[in-house]
Every structure is written in C-alpha cells, then in structure tokens.
Amino acid sequence: MAKKILRINMSTLKASYESMPEKWARWAGRGLTSAITCDEVDPLCHPLGPNNKLVIAPGWVTGTPAAPSSGRTSFGGKSPLTGGIKESNAGGLSGQMIAKLGLAAIIVEGTPAQGKWYTLVVSKDGVKFEDAVNLVGKGMYEVDEILWEKYPKTAVIGIGQAGEMKLSNAGISVNDPENKPGRYAGRGGMGAVMGARGVKAMVIVDAGGPGVGIENMDLFKQGRKKLTESIQEHGLTKKGGALNSFGTAVLVNILNEAGGLPTRNFSAGQFEGAIKISGEAIAEVCEKRGGEGTMGHGCHPGCIIKCSNIYPDAEGKALTSCIEYESTWSLGANCGIDNLEFVAQMNRACNDVGVDTIEAGNAIAVAMEGGLLPFGDAEGALKTFDEIRKGTPLGRILGQGVEATAKAFGVSRVPVVKHQSMPAYEPRAVKGIGVTYATTPMGADHTAGYTICPEILGVSGKVDPLSDEGKAEASLTFQAATAFIDSTGYCLFIAFPILDIAKGWEGMAESVAGVTGMNVTGADVVPLGKEILKMERLFNERAGFTAEDDRPPEFMLNEALPPHNVKWTITNSQLDSVFAWVHDGQPA
Amino acid sequence: MVLGEVSAFSQTIGCVITLYYLLVKNGTNKTMMIHVFLYGSLARFGGKRYVAQLDVELKPDSGKMELLAQIGIPKEERGYLFINAVLCEVPGMESGSNEPLNDGDHVGIFSVDRLWPYQYRDGIRMSDGLMKALAGRDAMHHSYN
C-alpha cells in the first residue's frame, strides 16, 4: 500500500493527505526529512519564521513486524541553533505509530493566530486541532500524563517550556513505553521550530491504521533474521552485553582513562570524579535502590538492545530516564560535577523543560568559566533549569545554547562547530571524530559518523589510528553510511554488530529491500548516503555556509589538552577534501 | 703520588662507592607502587563489584605483564588496558610487548565485555606495541574477539 504525506497547515488549521511524489518515493527517515526540507524550505528563511517547516518521518522499516530496534523518528527542518539543515531523531513510541497510520511523513507548516497553542491529534480519521491552553506553561512530565488520561497508550510528541519560548536549545520529546519524556530529538533546536508552528503537542493514535506494507515478505524476514542474530551475538548489543548492562555511560571510564573525556569546558581530558558519574555507578544505584530503577530498559517496543536505564530516587521511584553517556558527561564532568544525584536531577530537568542535555551542560560549563558559578557547583547548576523554566533573562540566555552563553559571559573557549556544541569525545585526543565534528552538515555531532564495515565501504580497514592521513576519506564514508542508517528507522546502535558481523550488514540491507521493494544491497548504502549528504550540504551552502564553517573552534588549535598535551592537527585542506566531491573538487 | 694525594684519592673513591650504593643499588632495591583501577568484572580482584582501586607494589624493572600476574587477572578476561592514558591492549588483541612501568604509574584495566566503538577511539594515543599489533590486521573494528 502506498504511503501518504500528511500536511498540516497551522495558519488555516487544515490537514490534507497527499500521495507520495515520485521525487521523494525512495526516501524515508532522515533522507525524507532532508529531501522535503530542501524542496520546501527556503535556506535563507528565519528558522522561527513562517517559512520554516517541521518535517517528521519514520524510517523505512519502522512499524514493520519485529524488525529489531527500529523505532526511530526523524525530525527535520532548518535549525535555529545552526542556521543550517537539521535532522534529529528519537526513539520512543512515535515512529512505529506514525508508520502504522500509513504515513511516510508529516509536514507541519504555517503559523496560527498570535498566542494560540494547539495539540494535534493524528489518527486514521484525520487531524483534530485541540486548544492546548491546558498544557501551555507545563513541563513534559505533566504534559505526557495529561494527554494519556484522554488518549491512553498513544505516542505523545511535545515541547516543554523551552520550546514554547522558541529557545535555540529546545528539543522535541517523545514518550517512552512508561509514558515518560526522555526520548528526545534534542539537537539543533527543533523544539523551537515546533513551538513556532504553535504546536505544544501531537498525539499519534495508530488504532485502525493500515500498517506498513511489505513488498517482499520473504526477503524482509531473511534480512530481519540475520540482523537480529547479529545484534544478539555482538558483545556490545547482546543481552547482558555492555550496552544492556551499563548503557552508553559505560564509556565514561574508558574515555577518562584514555584522556579523551572533556572536562571543565574542554580544558582537560580527564576528570578525577569520572567513576562517580559512570555507567558502573548508575548500575550500582539501580541495584541498591531497586524499585523502578533498572538498567536494560527499552525505549520503544521491539528493541532488543535495551541500552536505556531508569534512574531511581532514594525511595526507588523513577526519577529520570535515560542517563546517557553524553548527558552524564555534559552535566557532570564538563561542569566539574561528580555528584550523580544532581546529574540525575538535571537530566530530569532537561527532559521536563525540554532542552538537549549536551547543549545544556555545555552552556552551564561555559557560564561557569565565565564566572556565573564555580566549576563543581551542583546545586547552582541545577537551579539554572528553574531559570529556563521561568523564562528569566539568564534562563533565556542559557537556553539559547553555548554560543549565546559564551557571548553573554565573555568566554572565548567555545566548543562548537556550526554553532552547535561538541559532544563527549575530545577531538584533540580522539582525532577521527574531530573530522566528523567539523564537516558534518549537522554541526558538531557524535552520531554523524558511525563506523560501518570497512570492507564494504571500500576503505582499507587498516587506517593508522595515529596518522591524520585517511581520516577525511574514512569520515565521509562513515557519514554516508550513517545517513543511510538514519533513514532506515533502525537505531544507530545496530552499527556496532553490522561492523563486526557480516550477516548483520546483509540483513540490514535485505530488510530495507524487502519492505520497500527497492533493489538495495550493501553496495548501495554509501552511494545513497552520499545523496542525502549532498542534499544537506547544498542546503547549507544556500543558507550561507562556506568552508570556513567546517573548522574546529579556534582554541583547539592553540591550547594543548592534558594529559597528552595535544592540539588539533588536522589541516584545513584535509577537512575541505571530505566534501570536495559535492562540486567535483571545485569550490562551492 | 704523595701521601696526601693518596688520601684524597681514597676519599674520592669512597665517596663514589657510597654514592653508588645510595643512589643506584639502594634505589633499585626499592619497590615501586602502581595505582591500578579495575573496571567491570575485574573489580573482584580488588574486592569490589563494579570498580576497584588498589595500589600494587612491584619489584623494580617490572612491566605490564608482571603487574597482571601479580593481580592474577586471566588473559581471557582482559579488555582495554591503559598505562598513563596510553592504550596498550584492546579486547581480543594483546600488544605482545611488556610495556615498562615506573613508580607512581596509573594503570586502568577493563573487563573484556567493555567495548569502545571504533569511531570513538580512532586517533587515540596507543603504545608502540599495540600499534604494531594493529598494523598486522584490520584495525577498523569495534571488537577483535
């Protein structure tokens, strides 16, 4: 059955269903949000103005029966944070339900009458525009509860107070199976784009939907089986493996031992309190307190990796989910805070007020360097979220992200690329990730370049880890493969088994081919991913981006990072070579 | 050589010998202390469940292998191993060299189930021994088991 595009016009409060145009027919997930953004959004428009759009799309396999860990939803448009194109994706309940309604994408456009807020209820019967006066000013924990009272067991997409204020660090929340916020399309300020459309929340009711059509069931089942087996066999993703037992925060102690854990606003690569905020520490608390606390939590139905956690309070009640590696780093080590209780409370505050944890922690760290608070002041850091919630001038500055905060506090150590702050891998110590930070169309992003099986990518696999040579080529292939995975609807963490286990790679491609009927094999992954990247790069060029935007922050060239005392060493020509193919090697 | 010169010469020799014993012989007889952090299931070797810290006393001129032997960690349980933030071993691949240790060194050892995605370690500082080991096979993998 052919999928439809649902177009919701917030100016007229009308919704319409459109057939999928041929030009978008082969895309889903990130590929589709980027294609629609490129075709329908003026790159020079104001991200909060009437000409930007919010595009929501599940992946190719999302909503199909038992495709493992495939519940991602992509949110796209022009980013208020970066000024370029943005795709930010989340787990939770929304992707599968949108797909089961037979929708390839939802496009939210236009602007309602001043001051009006709506809850959009999307079901098989169409779209209801409900007055959201009962939700305005509320955080996402309360919003999710209120909406489930009326629409139980539905997917809730929403924004907290930060999105209502259209702050550049506002994210979009998706509820998890326990109806808690915490699955965020956090990066790039897409919550502000949703807020600019006057949409406080969307409820997705999949009951009675047509489901997802599968063109070749045998091929789909074959691919699904291979991928499932590879996930269940790999040490990172299997039951009882590293991610299932300790979550992504298992990396805290490893990066700290390596000297690559950014500390106190990227002034050092090791944090003396790392152990206290690590995945091991989170697991210990869950074990001691019990109750609702748990590791191995799944963020959406059908996930077999289950890397999430539910962090309990002292009474064993769920306090927040999930404390990710990047979150405990940004709100912990990068602020010099080693108190896990406060990290957990700040994590909850981010989920409630609706901001990205990476940008939020980085903004606090920059403010600490600027003298707002001393590094390590956990109580003071937690109170900054009240400032955002109340919309005070300080809260609005912090909610704009790192760059605005750095300007307000006169700080020159500003860890951003394309105006988006860096995640938890110090690029002076982990050089390979630095190339991706600098060149991805999304702004500094650790999920933009996942390593995929080198033999299939056509790179040697013998890249010298200490040499700068080859890192540009490798980064491009990683970025292309990641753009493809972001379009499948699979969780990006399937990249771990499909790198090391060949049948996993085959299975991913076969399952996509089975669902779509497209002739997709492993050999098509990089070319298709490069098409997506090219769309995104060209959008950014039209928005005014140049090669100078593919650069690390200046301080990384001048300041040596302890303990290895290393500076940024990748040359500009190497960075420029990553996307030189977009214009056949000629300047843009 | 006059008597006075002989005496001075003897005193000089005596000082040299004394200094040798004070600075070299006694020095090499002293043990060295290594600060070890054990992560994951290896923490049990330090009496803990998740992370253990212990100071290990070693004879002079000891290296990584002597440290591992003293703690008693089986080869098949070892994953990433760092000496002073330099990566020396990865799961499933030994460097084949016995990296030297010095008094006050920090060593971090992870259990074999702790994996570190390739893209997040590409370019990290490694020991010469591990670089040679990786050069002999495809490096770009998350795991080498």
Could you tell me which residues are beta bridge partners of residue B111?
B78
Smallest CA-to-CA distance from A156 within A193, A208, A121, A125 is with: A121
Q: Are residues B25 and B42 in the same domain?
A: no
- What's phi and psi for A353, nearest 5 deg? -75, -20
Q: Is B57 contained in some domain?
A: yes
User: Cβ contact (<8 Å) for A280 and B51?
Assistant: yes
Residues B62 and B98 in one domain: yes
The answer to whether residue B140 sits within a structural domain is no
Q: Determine, for residues B122 and A474 on separate chains, whether the beta-carbon distance falls below 8 Å.
A: yes
Looking at the structure of chain B, the number of domains it has is 2
In a domain, B143, yes or no: no
Between CA B55 and CA B103 the distance in angstroms is 11
Q: Evaluate whether A76 touches A441 at the Cβ level (below 8 Å).
A: no
Q: Identify all chain A residues contacting B40, using CB atoms and an 8 Å cutoff.
A: 280
Which of B140, B142, B144 is best to mutate for the A interface (most A CBs within 10 A)?
A: B140
If we measure between CA atoms, which residue out of A581, A578, A326, A583 comes closest to residue A441? Answer: A578
pLDDT score for B25:
45
β partners of residue A158: A173, A201
The answer to whether residues B12 and B68 belong to one domain is: no
What letter represents residue A90's amino acid?
A
Of A129 and B4, which is predicted with more confidence? A129
- The two tokens of residue A448 are 């933009």
In terms of domains, do B74 and B130 share one?
Answer: yes
Asked whether the beta carbons of A64 and A58 are under 8 A apart, the reply is no
Evaluate whether residue B141 is within a structural domain.
Answer: no
CA distance B30 to chain A (A): 28
Q: Do domains A4-204 and A242-414 have the same CATH topology?
A: no
pLDDT value, residue A452: 61
Q: Are residues B88 and B115 in the same domain?
A: yes
Please give the pLDDT value at position B21.
46
Name the band, by pLDDT with cuts 50, 70 and 90, for residue B8.
low
Residues A231, B144, A570, A268, CA torsion sign: positive
List the one residue out of B59, B135, B50 whose CA is nearest residue A275. Answer: B50
pLDDT of residue B26: 47
**Fold entry, domain A242-414:** 1.10.569
Instruction: Tell me yes or no: is domain A427-500+521-583 CATH 1.10.599.10.
Output: yes
- The alpha carbon of residue B55 is apart from the nearest alpha carbon of chain A, in Å, by 17
Q: B3 and B71 share a domain?
A: no
Provide the 8-state DSSP code for A50: T
Residue B12 has pLDDT above 60, yes or no: no
Q: Using a CB-CB distance cutoff of 8 angstroms, which residues of chain A are in contact with residue B84?
A: 563
Is residue B142, in this structure, part of any structural domain at all?
Answer: no
What is the domain partition of chain A in residue ranges? 4-204, 242-414, 427-500+521-583
Q: Is the pTM of this model over 0.90?
A: yes
| Residues of chain A under the 50 pLDDT cut | 459-461
Instruction: Give me the domain span that covers residue B8.
Output: 1-29
B78 SS3 class: strand
| pLDDT of A33 | 98
Q: How far is B82 from chain A (nearest CA, A)?
A: 7
CATH topology assigned to domain A4-204: Aldehyde Ferredoxin Oxidoreductase;  A, domain 1 (3.60.9)
A439 three-state secondary structure:
helix
A429 CB neighbours in chain B (<8 A) are 123-125
Structural tokens at position B19: 């200094």
Whether chain B has a CB inside 8 Å of the CB on A414: the answer is no
- A-B Cβ pairs (cutoff 8 Å, strict): 146
Contact (CB<8Å) B138/A449: no
B24 and B68, same domain (yes or no): no
Interface of A with B in 443-482 (CB under 8 A): 446, 449-451, 454-455, 459-466, 468, 471, 474, 478
Residues of B at the A interface, defined by Cβ within 8 angstroms: 37, 39-40, 49-51, 80, 82, 84-85, 87, 91, 108, 110, 113-126, 131, 134-135, 137-143, 145
Residues of A in contact with B50 (CB under 8 A): 280-281, 283-284
pLDDT of residue B96: 77
Cβ separation A462–B82 shorter than 8 A = no
Are B72 and B7 within one domain?
no
CATH code, domain with B123: 3.10.20.30
- B44 and B99 housed in the same domain: yes
On whether any CB of chain B is under 8 Å from the CB of A269, the answer is yes
* B-chain residues near A566 (CB < 8 A): 125
B130 chain-A contacts, CB cut-off 8 A: none
Q: Kindly tell me the sign of the dihedral angle through the C-alpha atoms of A180, A185, A189, A193.
A: negative
**Is residue A489 exposed (0-12), middle (13-18) or buried (19+ Cβ within 10 Å)?**
buried
Strand partners, A421: A416
Q: Residues B73, B128: one domain?
A: yes
